Amino acid sequence: MKLTRISALALFLCAAASAKEPVITKETRDNAEYMFIDGIKVHEEDPAKQPQPEIVAPKPYDAGATKAPEGATVLFDGSEATLENWTAMNGEPTKWKLVDAAMESVRGAGYIRTKKEFGSCRLHIEFATPAKPEGSGQGRGNSGVFIMGQYEVQVLDSYENTTYPDGQCGALYGRKKPLVNASRPPGEWQTYDITFTHPIFDEAGKITRKARFTVIHNGILIHDDVELSGGTGWAGPHAATEYVKHPDKGPIAFQDHGNPVRFRNIWIQEIAN
Ligand code: MG
């Protein structure tokens, strides 16, 4: 009985500790600024300091569950007509290609973004990294889902391809590694179901409510209502960025990182908060 009570207390303390705000520190080494989250360097590659997420089996693809629910806005359904919902970041027509009812990134074409803008939302997307994997680490099947045009849920071929855990498939880039690695092999369709709460800033530009993410990858929970500690931009060797004030709505964008990654079946539901 005593042991049970102690275990319960330990569990409670662990839960309380994990709910705490992450401690962000910075250090300058060799003229580069390095950021640490709870003492772990951003983009830490040493598994002794930042263990790789456990590899788990993804859930089978469920065509019924991935259909756009009634009332959802379909952003892309494989048709030429819905590709018209998207543009290049500068508003010009996108150079991404329509291939086999999917939109495929084209090296050098730049990011693709929705014409419409969104704040808090539930977003479903499907992606496939190239069937013939090329490159390694961050160079293999790299793209990304940018909510509000800037908060990145990483897209990467993380099937038998290791990289720093906070940059692998499903990572909130540079901020939080996924709970587990639920990746499918290259070329296979994978799903993200993202629930996002937008950040809020005061008049002076100070953050008053941080962004939150719940992410389900191939049916497996990989982020459970995680508070994003700051921006997810790549800003130097190991320095993540801070929050910078922006409007309450922004586009959904996908990254052109030079690899022909495909996307399909994209729909969104706006959430009022
Ligand atoms: Mg990326």
Structural domain count of the chain: 1
Q: Express each pLDDT in 127-166 by its tens digit.
A: 999 999 999 999 999 999 999 999 999 999 999 999 999 9
User: Over 60: is that where the pLDDT of 6 sits?
Assistant: no
Confidence of residue 1 (pLDDT cuts 50, 70, 90): very low
- For residue 155, the CA-to-ligand 1 centroid distance in Å is 6
CA distance 31 to 35: 13
pLDDT value of position 33:
82
pLDDT value of position 235:
57
**Domain assignment of residue 219, given as a range:** 5-270
CATH of the domain at 22: 2.60.120.560
pLDDT value of position 19:
58
Cα 32–chain centre separation: 25
- For residue 173, the CA-to-ligand 1 centroid distance in Å is 8
- For residue 233, the CA-to-ligand 1 centroid distance in Å is 10
- Give yes or no for a contact between 168 and 154, defined as CB atoms under 8 angstroms apart: yes
- For residue 170, the CA-to-ligand 1 centroid distance in Å is 10
- For residue 70, the CA-to-ligand 1 centroid distance in Å is 31
Q: What is the CA radius of gyration of the chain?
A: 19
The two structure tokens encoding residue 40:
């772990």
Confidence of residue 88 (pLDDT cuts 50, 70, 90): very high
The dihedral formed by the CA atoms of 193, 257, 45 and 214, expressed in degrees to the nearest 10: -10
- For residue 100, the CA-to-ligand 1 centroid distance in Å is 23
- For residue 15, the CA-to-ligand 1 centroid distance in Å is 30
